Amino acid sequence: MSLPPVPKCGSSDKRNEEYDAQFSHEKYYRFLVKSGVPIIFDIGAHRGESVVFFRSIFPEANIFSFEPEPTNFQALKNVAHEHNAKPFNLALSSKNEDVVFFKQDISHLGGLIPINQKSSDSLGYAEKAKNEEISVTSLTLDSFCSQNFVQEIDLLKIDVQGHELEVLRGAGIMLQNTHCVTVEISLYDFYGQNTNALLDVEKIMAANDFALWDIAKISKNPKNLRTDWIEAVYRKNIQPE
């Protein structure tokens, strides 16, 4: 016997349909970022995918891209040269020091946290994770901006495989001078236990006068039917005009 359909209440389905019909990434980011010449920090740039994306929306933007893994960085440099971005072979974290980076066979899964080989949420990769250790240089966002005379950031994008909280902890000064943040928040155990990750990020963002504005992406897990990670979008609390 088939189950009845999920009950509908209110007008959310209709509103979502209208949203989908009107949505475009350009409209979305131009609503978030008001400057015509924004300063964009791309932390966890991998091989330049987000450089291409942001340049397509903001042709005049100043894009700073950070990628610590050497092979990925070589690819990022080529993309950055083609798209007039500034690449940096650095990790960003909560301290200025050399740190261990864990390389993986799937390049975008590498980061400053090893993959949990006993992960119960993994769809099969974790138990064979490479976790090859290399040394990379890490700076805090505050230190980098001080050294490079960056006084404000229009859009701060953080996607660093479970290490996002440490990036925010190293940005106590610059978060006061940042207008919008997109941050990936891990809820699964792929990079260890992250049961309080959302709460911890919320505390830091609220302390710096940010409000959660959107959940732009959700990665669902077909194995356990939960959510693995979300991309949260924060904006400075804006007073109504």
DSSP state of 192: B
- Three-class DSSP labels, 119-181: CCCCCCCHHHCCCEEEEEEEEEHHHHHHHCCCCCEEEEEECCCCCHHHHHHCCCCHHHHEEEE
Domains of the chain: total:
1
pLDDT at 241: 46
The answer to whether residue 3 sits within a structural domain is no
pLDDT at 239: 55
pLDDT at 10: 76
Contacts of 84 (CB under 8 A, 6+ apart): 55, 63
Q: Which CATH number belongs to the domain containing residue 53 in this structure?
A: 3.40.50.150
The answer to whether residue 174 sits within a structural domain is yes
pLDDT at 155: 98
The answer to whether residue 65 sits within a structural domain is yes
pLDDT, mean of each 10-residue run, the chain (241 residues): 74 90 96 95 98 98 98 98 98 98 96 95 94 98 98 98 96 98 96 85 97 97 95 83 46
Strand 132-140 and strand 91-93: the pairing is parallel
Give the domain range for residue 169.
Answer: 35-236
The answer to whether residue 66 sits within a structural domain is yes
pLDDT at 238: 67
The answer to whether residue 11 sits within a structural domain is no
